[in-house]
Amino acid sequence: MAEKMPPVRALKLVAAPIHPEGRIFVASAAVLTAVLFWLWVPMGWLGTVVTVFCAYFFRDPDRMSPSGEALVLSPVDGKVLAVGPADPPAELDLEPRKWVRISIFLNIFNVHVNRFPVDGVVRRIRYHPGKFFNAALDKASDDNERNAVHLSSIGGEDVVVVQIAGLIARRIVCDAREGQEVVAGERLGIIRFGSRADVYLPSSSNLRVIPGQTMIGGETVLGELMVTPTVLTKTLGR
């Protein structure tokens, strides 16, 4: 049985701040609502529902991330679609070897803020234009518009997180930059509306996730990298 969310935490999730990417949508919906109330009150109430939903969709709650140099955290909220072997995005030109891909689907009610899955450094960021199939389909990983972020963990392992557009998503926002030092759970960006996130880990990783499991971005542990943790300052080149 799933653990019940404490009422205080549930309230904080609903009343979370609005992500900067969503402010224009919320403001526009609010202005439209005022006009609709002036024209016809029942339509104004409909506009109110739309405005509240926009604020809810673009919510950006704080998260408490578990610490551990080898831990890999979920980059998004959502449901795990599949876990299995796969090749990483071709645009990253990574050395061919065995990888495990964890695919997570975000519906329109999930928090859509994306987070870094590991502590480390951003090595490469590659955008790939594509189609807009339903993000729940397997072919979305290869055919849809995406943004791939290659990370080097503080233990020296390669980790890839891919932001993937969905059927109605039309904007992927990535706030990361190459060479940036990051901490697991920090904000990476956002994908507007239904979407998907793929995480690629070395096949030697110790996975703690199964298909059908519900993820909390920045908090749920996907697995552990099977490496000997190294000193952070050495890995980051300080």
Which residues are catalytic, by number?
195
Q: Which residue's entry shows tokens 């000193």?
A: 231
Containing 123, the helix (H) or strand (E) segment is: strand 120-128
Q: Which residue's entry shows tokens 């992500």?
A: 19
The candidate with the shortest Cα–Cα distance to 73, out of 219, 227, 226, is 219
Q: Do residues 164 and 149 lie in contact, with contact meaning Cβ atoms separated by under 8 Å?
A: no
Q: Do residues 130 and 167 lie in contact, with contact meaning Cβ atoms separated by under 8 Å?
A: no
Q: Do residues 86 and 100 lie in contact, with contact meaning Cβ atoms separated by under 8 Å?
A: yes
Q: Do residues 224 and 208 lie in contact, with contact meaning Cβ atoms separated by under 8 Å?
A: yes
**Whole-angstrom distance, CA of residue 40 vs CA of residue 47:** 11
Tokens matching residue 184: 């697991």
| Torsions phi, psi for 36 (to 5 deg) | -65, -40
